[in-house]
Amino acid sequence: MSTHLDKFSSIASLLTAGLVFCIALSSSLTATSERPNIIIIMADDLGFDDVSFRGSNNFLTPNIDALAYSGVILNNLYAAPMCTPSRAALLTGKYPINTGMQHYVIVNDQPWSLPLNETTMAEVFRGNGYRTSLLGKWHLGMSQRNFTPTQRGFDRHLGYLGAYVDYYSQTYEQTNKGYNGHDFRDNLKATHEQVGQYVTDVLTDAAVQEIEDQGSKNNSQPLFLLLSHLAPHAANDDSPMQAPEDELAQFGYIRNETHRYYAAMVSRMDKSVGKVIDALARQEMLQNSIVLFLSDNGGPTQGQHSTTASNYPLRGQKNSPWEGGLRSSAAIWSTEFERLGSVWKQQIYIGDLLPTLAAAAGISPDPALHLDGLNLWSALKYGYESVEREIVHVIDEDVAEPHLSYTRGKWKVISGTTSGGIYDGWLGRRETSEEDPRSGDYEDLIRNTSVWQQLQLVSAGERNISELRDQARIECPEPATGIKPCLPLQAPCLFDIEADPCEQSNLYEEYRNTTIYLDLWQRIQQFAKEAHPPNNKPSDPDCNPRFYHDEWTWWQDEQASSSGTTGRMKIVTFFLGFVLTSRWFL
């Protein structure tokens, strides 16, 4: 009898254990399926004033604007002032000074990268059940294969590894060294299938396909997608401004040819945003998605790779310590937000996005990562703006151009600058006579976009477009303290950035001996003392694409595996170069 009872007890225990397991498994699957898809669309070198939700009618961005008005406009999102530091901060959740990524950018011929001991956002999400995809720009190292995206947490990469490419040929030319090669890959394989196609469209189509695959085949696994556009960055120096003819034709009212091309480049990217939202809607993924749009830094109005981008009325531009180089025009949308259709004035740093989006997905990053970024998900979700944010924008102790930019709360300190200060002014004022013909019916234009209509279906609510546009506009009246010049090459400058976002009134002389300024300066010195040395390395001539079938590639690995062949190719290349450039004829 006891044997039968024992058997019954054992069976009951097994059934109970099985039931508990099934419930746990079901619960786990439900938790996984309910985790939001995270879609980040990043523009490259887009000016702060180059989205029309900021108020400009020079050229319109109706799809980006519709996303912004439907969601939350991030009025104070700060990025690093250049591409590589900004992308490093996004993916690591750390200040560039703490990863050695603070000085300039990785030029294609330089053998360095985001340190391999740094954990990326893609690794965090993939480690928690997400499928991870990067479409477009990487720019965090390529001289070794293990520096590249699919070795750093991305399941998929379609795009380029270096700084930028031609919009049609996908080639990168480093004119000062005479290097020229193709730079476009599908995962680790060079692909030429896209040659002749406009790269904004290539990346958009890939994003749409990724979303459709996700929706139809793999919907139990959430998607982390970083659509990292080339647009509106300039292409190679021989043809920096490129846009399809049909897009260009819409902007004939703009007299300056460079600016006309720039408007078309931005406009094509704006259409990309619309297609991504449409794809999410078709796959019924919008309800459970977070969509973020931002730029990696301010736009370059003048100088190297300049495009006529405008950060006006903010001061400065890309690669400068001013607001115009640091503030990103950004917007985010999710059904989780309690205050959809609002302008959020909380300061947020690009490095905050890792812990913030992780929290949205119920992920707690390992404390051992020592993130500088803050988890602002609750503040964003409920719309409160009371977190005092400390942001190290840049501390670069380069001997030739030492400079720093630091904010705590409303106070901002600048010391030193870039390019001798020639881009320290207020650049990019628009021709007021040149207005997009659609601007007269602006609100109808926004409401008729598929973005607006699709987002309204899943998050209906009244939005006062005109009021939101006014709130997102930056005005620069003369400060109550008067105009007080800042000469950062002569002395530090101090600004009350809340009262004076355009950095017109330097308060350093008034506060230099107060605890307010001295505490800020002491904190800056502490960061500088503890900073990771810059990872930068000098150029390496072994990178020359001529040695690798005219492809930009992980040349250090190629050298290691075929040093003899590479050496012979170098000799042949040198000899041909000598013959072609000499006066001797054979």
Q: What is the pLDDT of residue 147?
A: 98
Q: What is the pLDDT of residue 143?
A: 98
Q: What is the pLDDT of residue 368?
A: 97
Q: What is the pLDDT of residue 569?
A: 56
Per-residue confidence at 461, pLDDT binned at 50, 70, 90?
Answer: confident
Q: What is the pLDDT of residue 578?
A: 43
Phi-psi region of 216 (alpha: psi -120 to 50; beta: other; left: phi over 0): alpha
Per-residue confidence at 562, pLDDT binned at 50, 70, 90?
Answer: confident
Per-residue pLDDT at 575 exceeds 80: no
Q: What is the CA 288 to chain-centroid distance, rounded?
A: 22
Per-residue pLDDT at 26 exceeds 60: no
Mean pLDDT calculated for residue range 202-230:
92
Strands (DSSP E) contained in 288-426 are 289-295, 327-333, 342-344, 348-349, 390-396, 403-408, 411-415
Q: Which residues contact 457 (CB under 8 A, 6 or more apart)?
A: 281, 286
Per-residue confidence at 567, pLDDT binned at 50, 70, 90?
Answer: low
Per-residue pLDDT at 25 exceeds 80: no
Q: What is the pLDDT of residue 34?
A: 84
What 3-state class would DSSP assign to 396? strand
List pLDDT tens digits, range 384-418.
999 999 999 999 999 999 999 999 999 999 999 99
Per-residue pLDDT at 7 exceeds 60: no
Per-residue pLDDT at 492 exceeds 60: yes
Per-residue pLDDT at 75 exceeds 80: yes
In the CATH hierarchy, which top-level class contains the domain 35-387+441-461?
A: alpha beta
Q: Would you say 289 and 222 are in contact if contact means Cβ atoms under 8 Å apart?
A: no
Q: Would you say 98 and 532 are in contact if contact means Cβ atoms under 8 Å apart?
A: yes
Specify the residue for token string 């009350």.
496
Per-residue confidence at 563, pLDDT binned at 50, 70, 90?
Answer: low
Mean pLDDT calculated for residue range 496-517:
97
Q: CA-based angle 385:386:391, to the nearest 5? A: 90
Residue type, 117: N
In whole angstroms, give the CA distance from residue 100 to residue 127: 25
* Interhelix angle 257-282/199-217, nearest 10 degrees: 10
Q: What is the pLDDT of residue 570?
A: 58
- Residue in 250, 204, 231 with CA at minimum distance from that of residue 309: 231
What 3-state class would DSSP assign to 540? coil
Per-residue pLDDT at 210 exceeds 90: yes
List pLDDT tens digits, range 123-165.
999 999 999 999 999 999 999 999 999 999 999 999 999 999 9
* Averaged pLDDT score across all residues of the chain: 92
Per-residue confidence at 218, pLDDT binned at 50, 70, 90?
Answer: low
In whole angstroms, give the CA distance from residue 182 to residue 254: 33
Domain ranges of the chain: 35-387+441-461, 554-581
- Residue in 461, 438, 459, 466 with CA at minimum distance from that of residue 270: 438
- Residue in 302, 304, 278, 306 with CA at minimum distance from that of residue 291: 278
In whole angstroms, give the CA distance from residue 516 to residue 244: 52
Q: What is the pLDDT of residue 490?
A: 96
Per-residue confidence at 20, pLDDT binned at 50, 70, 90?
Answer: very low
Q: Would you say 411 and 366 are in contact if contact means Cβ atoms under 8 Å apart?
A: no
In whole angstroms, give the CA distance from residue 1 to residue 367: 56
In whole angstroms, give the CA distance from residue 129 to residue 30: 12
Q: Would you say 304 and 45 are in contact if contact means Cβ atoms under 8 Å apart?
A: no
Per-residue pLDDT at 3 exceeds 50: no
Mean pLDDT calculated for residue range 221-243:
97
Q: What is the pLDDT of residue 12?
A: 45
Per-residue confidence at 510, pLDDT binned at 50, 70, 90?
Answer: very high
Per-residue pLDDT at 195 exceeds 90: yes
Per-residue pLDDT at 56 exceeds 90: yes
Per-residue pLDDT at 17 exceeds 70: no
In angstroms, what CA-CA distances link 390 with 404, 443, 446? 14, 37, 36
Per-residue pLDDT at 462 exceeds 50: yes
**Count of beta carbons in the 10 Å neighbourhood of residue 466:** 10
